[in-house]
Amino acid sequence: MPIREGIYGLLAEFNTPSELVYATEQARKAGFRRMECYTPYPVEEAAEALDFHKTRVPLVCLLGGIMGVTTAFLMETWISVYGYPLNIAGRPLFSWPAFIIPAYEWTILFAGLSAAFGMIALNGMPQLYHPVFNAPNFRNGATTDKFFLCLEAADPKFSLTDTRALLESYAPVSVVEVDH
């Protein structure tokens, strides 16, 4: 059955996290890959059921740290050797041991900032609008006491009737269509 134009997916509402995790595992076994869980608090089992384990934040943090140490060493070298050289007691202009502590501080600063801003960017934030906000039951329960599983229409396995029947077989409180 062709997907109706303008539909984002089907949203199933559950009362307990165990029901949500079970439905997510079963939907994954049925072949669905484009799905998302919405919970009022972190549910580790749901993340495992979604097979969500990859993140690029550590790589972004590492690259930020490397950028920080490189920037610090280059800046200190340029200042000490070319920009404002000082001959103090015949010591060499490029005295790298003196550069270690500021370079370390810049490494920590750049790594921390890149981790924070990288996480925000990789999470796609700020996202002021999401289609699940159109679901009538989502706003009332998503932040308090309800658990939701959304199977997206972009999934190749998605069929409106078959997917609704699959979700209803897990005995949710309700299953609603989510419009774009």
Residues 116-145 pLDDT 10s: 999 999 988 888 888 888 888 887 777 788
List CB contacts of 139: < 8 A, sequence separation 6 or more: 133
Terminal alpha carbon distance of the chain: 19
List the chain domain ranges: 7-54+131-179, 57-122
What band does 167 get if pLDDT is binned at 50, 70 and 90? very high
pTM of the predicted protein model? 0.71
For 75, half-sphere exposure in the C-beta direction (CA atoms, 13 angstrom radius) is 10
pLDDT of 4 above 70: no
